[in-house]
Amino acid sequence: MRKAAAGVMVVGGLWIVAAGCDDFAAFAGRAEVGSESRTLGAVVFQTATTADPQGISPAGERLAIEARFVRYDPPYEAEVREVLGLADLDALPPADDCTAALRVPAAAPAIDPAATTTAGVEFLDVGRILARGGGSEELLAVRTFPDLLDVMSGVTYGGTSGLAYRPGSRYDVRGEADRSPWFSIGAPPSWADLRVGGDEVRDGLVGMFDPEPRLDLRWIPWPDHASDIVVSLVWTGVDGEPRGIVCHPADDGEFDFPTAALIQLPPAPDLAGLTLRIERIAGLSFPLDGIDEAEAVFRVSLTTPIR
Average of per-residue pLDDT across 134-155: 75
Quote the pLDDT of residue 287.
Answer: 96
pLDDT at 286 over 80: yes
Query: Is residue 9 domain-resident?
Result: no
- Top mean-pLDDT range of 48-52, 59-63, 111-115, 193-197: 193-197
166-181 pLDDT per residue, tens: 999 999 999 999 999 9
pLDDT at 28 over 50: no
Average of per-residue pLDDT across 139-167: 80
- Top mean-pLDDT range of 18-22, 210-214, 258-262: 258-262
Query: Is residue 292 domain-resident?
Result: yes
Residue 58 pLDDT grade (very low, low, confident, very high; cuts 50, 70, 90): very low
Query: Is residue 173 domain-resident?
Result: yes
Residue 53 pLDDT grade (very low, low, confident, very high; cuts 50, 70, 90): low
pLDDT at 40 over 50: yes
Q: Do residues 295 and 42 lie in contact, with contact meaning Cβ atoms separated by under 8 Å?
A: yes
Quote the pLDDT of residue 229.
Answer: 95
E strands in the chain: 38-52, 55-56, 62-72, 98-100, 121-123, 129-133, 136-139, 142-145, 154-160, 170-175, 183-186, 195-196, 199-200, 216-218, 227-236, 242-247, 254-256, 272-285, 293-305
Query: Is residue 7 domain-resident?
Result: no
- Parallel/antiparallel/unpaired status of strands 142-145 and 195-196: unpaired
> Mean pLDDT in the chain?
77
Which residue would you say has higher pLDDT here, 54 or 263? Answer: 263
- Owning domain of residue 230: 21-305
Query: Is residue 2 domain-resident?
Result: no
Domain count, the chain: 1
Average of per-residue pLDDT across 63-77: 93
Query: Is residue 14 domain-resident?
Result: no
Query: Is residue 141 domain-resident?
Result: yes
Query: Is residue 15 domain-resident?
Result: no
- Work out the percent of the chain whose per-residue pLDDT is above 70: 70
